[in-house]
Copies of this chain bind each other. A is one copy, B any other.
């Protein structure tokens, strides 16, 4: 069948990549080292050992181009991988665009998002190193759900601190984590010193990922049998997600196509990294390809932030990382894309962006939900609000192609479905959503909180 006849492009199970792709091997500018939050000296593996498994720390600093996926993890990937690459025939027709639109659908994972790609190896490395319990934070709830299942599959306990605004907006998220045997509490909570201190300052806070991270880290360092787990930002998380883009390359080859534009939404960065990093070597080699990171206008880290050392959390427990940031005190508005409400960004994504290897754009939430509705009504799948940021930009590019009479091949990462985000859609349909952009003063206030080195 030709590429125009096919709806889904499916790789056989044995074609699941055996290696993750490590972009650190190909970066024009090497990564700046993480700094110890106290001494502000470059971090060594020993500094990270109280929080992370050694297998993950090794990945964090490796510059090997390919890192083997443990067979135990690859076996579990088979539950949904290789994930399908869809040709968006319905959406193309509705837009009347000459462009070819493809989407990589990660929502077929049992938890409904790409997050399981990293949750499984994180649980695995901790399990083999004798850890009994993992703590984490979650924004939209996708990451918490994925880690809950991964912990259950590797027989670990799981404790999730969920940003309060998402906890309240999405009651089903807590329930599904419970089904997988995890405990989930709204953050800030009364269970940690950092949670109590936030609640004392602002009892009605919607919470942020940065606060929830402080809680999860504080919990983890207090127990010998417990490690901490992060769903984005860090190098090893981006690494695990590269399985997405590697599959996309194989799938595009199957239909004799290659993308002109690759799009991913960007919060902490692992979603975008997952689909885009495997194309970086081609980009460096001079191939004509655009990689676009899409962030919410309400939390415009790449488009309005600065490239500087900052903490990953509010309390200053995490290492200092050089990244695009709005300042760790910046509290994004309670938009319906909880997974993108993060002040910082992956150091890998940040460095590559600073080197001009990809573009960034920001979009308003009403336009995002308009795009999501059109997608649901033409392609059938109700997208997660986070993933819908990528849809918005894919549609904009396809319409631009139509206007200019240029046929482009556009691929985006449909990182998850939105069946547990229907409150947000209901809100949108009832006219209850607002377009929110921080003022220049708010941006400046956030940046004033950057640590002085």
Contact = CB atoms under 8 A, between A and B. Distances in A.
A179 B424 CA distance: 11
A367 B205 CA distance: 41
Contacts of A78: 6-8
B419 A382 contact: no
A179 B426 CA distance: 8
Interface in A4-53: 6-8, 10, 12-14
Given A8-B13, A14-B1, A380-B110, A426 B153 contact: no
B179 A382 contact: yes
Given A12-B10, A419-B172, A422-B175, A377 B180 contact: yes
Given A7-B78, A79-B7, A175-B422, A149 B429 contact: no
Given A153-B90, A382-B176, A419-B112, A181 B7 contact: no
A79 B382 contact: no
B14 A178 contact: no
A423 interface: yes
Interface in A154-184: 172, 175-176, 178-181
A78 B4 CA distance: 13
A428 to B, nearest CB: 9
30 contacts: A1-B14, A6-B13, A6-B78, A7-B13, A8-B13, A10-B10, A10-B12, A79-B379, A90-B153, A108-B108, A109-B380, A110-B379, A110-B380, A110-B381, A110-B382, A112-B419, A152-B377, A153-B378, A175-B422, A175-B426, A176-B419, A176-B422, A176-B425, A178-B425, A179-B376, A179-B422, A180-B376, A181-B377, A419-B420, A420-B422
Contacts of A8: 13, 78-79
A111 B417 CA distance: 10
A153 B380 CA distance: 8
A239 interface: no
A140 interface: no
Contacts of A153: 90, 378, 380
A266 interface: no
A373 interface: yes
Interface string A376-414: 111111100000000000000000000000000000000
A179 B425 contact: yes
A32 B435 CA distance: 61
Nearest to A9: B13
Contacts of A181: 377
A436 B415 CA distance: 41
Nearest to A428: B179
A414 to B, nearest CB: 11
A380 B13 contact: no
Nearest to A90: B153
B111 A380 contact: yes
5 A-B pairs with the lowest CB-CB distances in the bound complex, closest first: A110-B380, A7-B78, A175-B422, A172-B422, A175-B426
B179 A373 contact: yes
B79 A175 contact: no
A1 B15 CA distance: 12
Interface string A95-130: 000000000000011111000000000000000000
Contacts of A419: 112, 172, 176, 419-420
